Amino acid sequence: MIFFNPAGAPELACDACGCRWFDRMTGACYECGTPVSAESQAEYRRALEEFALRRSGGGEGDRGA
Ligand SMILES: [Zn+2]
């Protein structure tokens, strides 16, 4: 599952235990060792891209004043 931190950045969280610590080398949860599904990784990647677009002013509405 994917969480969004207070800064609006997506964080990948474990489906099994809900922790947000993933070992990017193995693609598994640090806490319980559950592997991250390719689906979740793709979803996280999309969320990251959207976040980057928003931050670079690509989004609508927020002009950053
Ligand atoms: Zn876990």
**What is the residue-wise DSSP string for 15-56?**
TTT----EETTTTEETTT-PBPPHHHHHHHHHHHHHHHHHHT
- Compute the distance from residue 17 Cα to the ligand 1 centre, in Å: 4
Mean pLDDT, the chain, as a whole number?
A: 85
What pLDDT, on the 0 to 100 scale, is given for residue 60? 58
Residue 14 lies in a domain: yes
Residue 35 lies in a domain: yes
Other CB atoms within a 10 A radius of the CB of residue 38 amount to 9
Compute φ and ψ for 11, nearest 5 degrees.
-130, 130
Angle, CA of 36, 19 and 34, to the nearest 5°: 30
For 46, what's the count of Cα atoms within 13 Å in the CB-facing half-sphere? 8
Q: How many domains does the chain have?
A: 1
- Compute the distance from residue 18 Cα to the ligand 1 centre, in Å: 6
- Compute the distance from residue 49 Cα to the ligand 1 centre, in Å: 24
Q: What is the pTM of this model?
A: 0.70
- Domain containing residue 27: 2-54
Residue 7 lies in a domain: yes
Kindly tell me if the per-residue pLDDT of 1 is higher than 90.
no
Residue 6 lies in a domain: yes
User: What mean pLDDT comes out for the span 30-44?
Assistant: 90
Residue 64 lies in a domain: no
Residue 63 lies in a domain: no
